[in-house]
Amino acid sequence: MHLIEKHAVAIRWLTIGLGLCFAVMYANQQILTGDQTQMLEKGYLGAYHQTWAAFGNAASAVGNVPGSLSAFVIGGPLLIWDSPWSPMLFLILLRLCSFLLLDAVIQKIFSPPVRMLFAIIYWLNPWLLYDSLLYNPSYLCFFAALHLWSAFKLREHASFIYSFLHILAIGGAMQFHYSWPILAVISCYLLYRRMARPSWSGVAVASVVILASLIPYCLEYINNDSLSRESDRYFGYGAVHVYPVLKAIFYWLRYGSTLFSNRLITDVSFDWITSISWLKMIFQYCWQALLFIIGMITVVLSVNVNMRAWKTIKPAIKRGSPIADNKQWMLLYAGAAVLAIVINAMLSPITFSYWHLILTFPFALFPLLVAAEAWQEELPNRFIKGMGVITVFFIAVNLVAAHDSDKYSYKVDYVEQVTHYLNEKGLQREQ
C-alpha cells in the first residue's frame, strides 16, 4: 500500500481530472430530448425574459415537480455567461461537489487505499457519468452527498448550520425529482436511531425556507390544471404488485456492481468502427456479452457484500443498541437507504427505472467499501491490481458510451443542438 499512499495526491488529482474530462465529453455529445429541452426552455425564459417557471419537469404519472430550482440552475449560470455551456459546466461543478462532500466523509472512516478506491468507483463510474446531461436526475447526487455529509457532521452533537443544510438537501431534491422521500425516510431513521442529533431551530428555519420557496408553485398549481396528471395507477401500486419492490431492490444491488443500464449496453451500434452490417453485429454481441457477464459476476459480489453488511448491522438496527464505529454508522445509513427504497417502491404509482433511484447510487457503494477495507489488509497486492483493472474497464466503457449509446452520439454537438432549439423556439435575449 506504500505506493498508493506515497502518490495518493497525484493519483487523486489524476482521477478527478479524468472524471472531469469524461463529464465534458459526455456533455458535448448528449442527444437533446424532451428532458433537456424542458429545463433549457425554463432556464432561458428566466435569463432572457425574467419569466421564472414555478415548476420543474413533468414526471411520470404524477405531474410536474414543484419549485423554481430547475429553472434557476439553468438560467442563473446564463445570467453570468450567455453560453449553452454555462448551465452544463455548473452541473458538472455540482457533481464534483458531490464527490468532494462524499470524499470528506470517506476520509474520516477508511484507509487511504480504500479512499482511492472510492474515487474510482464513484467519480469514474459509468453509473454516475452516464447522467452527465441536462436533466433533473443529474442534480440529485449533490443533494444525496449533502444529506450524508451533514448527517455525519450531526452524529455526535447538534449544529444549527448542519441541521439547516440537512433539511435543505431534502427540499432541494424535492424540486428536481419525486425520489426525494428517500432522503426523508433516511432522516427519520437517523432520528429514530439517534444516529444524528439535529438542532431543531435549524430544522425549523430550513423548513420555512423550503415552504416559502414553494409558494409560487402552490399558487400556480391552483390555477394551472396541467401541473397535475391523471393516471390509471395509484399510490400503493408497488405494494400490491410486489414486482416493483423487487426491481427497486435489484437496482440497489446493481448500483454496487457493473451491471449498468441497458441503455448503455444494448444501444451501441459501432458504426464508428465499420459500416459492414455483419461486422457491426459481431461487435455488438461481443460488447453485450462482455458487459453482461462481468456485470452479473459483480452483481453476485454485490449480493455477497450486502449480506455481510446486513449481518454487521442486524444487532444494531434498533434504538439503544451501541454503534461500534463509523463503519457501522455508515452501513446503518446504507440500510436506511434500502428501507427508504422499499417504502418508496411500495407507495409509488410507477415501476422504477434506474434514474428514479439514482439518488441512492453513492450509498450503494458503502457495503463494498467496508468489505474492501478487509481486502486491502489481507490481499494488498491483489487490491492494487484490482483497482487498476476497474479503472481500465471504466475508461473503456465510458469511451464507448459517451460516443455511441442511447443518450449520446459522436454525431451530435451539444451547442449546435441548443442553438437550433433556441432558434426554433424563438428564444432570444431581449435588447
DSSP string covering 292-333 = HHHHHHHHHHHHHHHHHHHHHHGGG-STTSPP-SHHHHHHHH
In this predicted model, which residue has the larger pLDDT, 222 or 299?
299
Question: Among residues 131, 117, 423, 399, which one has the least CA distance to residue 263?
Answer: 131
What pLDDT is recorded for position 61? 65
Q: Lowest-pLDDT range, 26-40, 100-114, 228-242?
A: 228-242
What pLDDT is recorded for position 229? 62
Give CA angle at 9 (8, 12), nearest 5°.
80
User: Is there a domain that residue 337 lies in?
Assistant: yes
What pLDDT is recorded for position 264? 87
What pLDDT is recorded for position 286? 95
What pLDDT is recorded for position 5? 67
Q: Is 87 exposed, middle or buried (0-12, 13-18, 19+ CB in 10 A)?
A: buried
User: Is there a domain that residue 83 lies in?
Assistant: yes
CA dihedral 44, 48, 50, 55 (to 10 degrees): -10
In this predicted model, which residue has the larger pLDDT, 3 or 250?
250
In this predicted model, which residue has the larger pLDDT, 231 or 144?
144
User: Is there a domain that residue 370 lies in?
Assistant: yes
Average pLDDT of the chain, as a whole number: 93
What pLDDT is recorded for position 327? 96
User: Is there a domain that residue 158 lies in?
Assistant: yes
Helix axes 243-255, 277-313, angle to 10 degrees: 90
User: Is there a domain that residue 431 lies in?
Assistant: no
Angstrom distance (rounded) from CA 268 to CA 291: 12
Of these ranges, 52-56, 265-269, 322-326, 368-372, the one predicted with the greatest mean pLDDT is 368-372
Percent of the chain scored above 70 by pLDDT? Answer: 96
Q: Lowest-pLDDT range, 229-243, 246-260, 376-390?
A: 229-243
| φ, ψ dihedrals at 267, nearest 5° | -105, 25
What pLDDT is recorded for position 4? 65
Total of domains in the chain: 1
User: Is there a domain that residue 173 lies in?
Assistant: yes
pLDDT grade, residue 404 (50/70/90)? very high
User: Is there a domain that residue 430 lies in?
Assistant: no
User: Is there a domain that residue 235 lies in?
Assistant: yes
State yes or no: pLDDT of 390 exceeds 90: yes
What pLDDT is recorded for position 239? 81
What pLDDT is recorded for position 180? 94
Q: Which three cell numbers stand for residue 45?
A: 425564459
State yes or no: pLDDT of 256 exceeds 70: yes
Q: Lowest-pLDDT range, 72-86, 168-182, 229-243, 261-275?
A: 229-243
- Encode pLDDT of 10-68 as tens digits: 889 999 999 999 999 999 999 999 899 999 999 999 999 999 988 888 776 677 889 99
Q: Which three cell numbers stand for residue 165?
A: 443544510
Q: Lowest-pLDDT range, 35-49, 66-80, 96-110, 219-233?
A: 219-233
What pLDDT is recorded for position 7? 76
What pLDDT is recorded for position 99? 98
State yes or no: pLDDT of 1 exceeds 60: no
Q: Which residues form the domain of 361?
A: 2-425
- Beta strands 55-59 and 63-66: pairing type? antiparallel
pLDDT grade, residue 249 (50/70/90)? very high
What pLDDT is recorded for position 350? 85
Side-chain half-sphere CA neighbours of 319 within 13 A: 8
What pLDDT is recorded for position 431? 61
pLDDT grade, residue 221 (50/70/90)? confident
| φ, ψ dihedrals at 64, nearest 5° | -75, 145
> Average pLDDT for residues 204-227, to the nearest whole number?
89
Angstrom distance (rounded) from CA 81 to CA 75: 10
What pLDDT is recorded for position 309? 96
Cβ neighbours, 10 Å, residue 290 = 14
In this predicted model, which residue has the larger pLDDT, 257 or 8?
257
pLDDT grade, residue 228 (50/70/90)? low
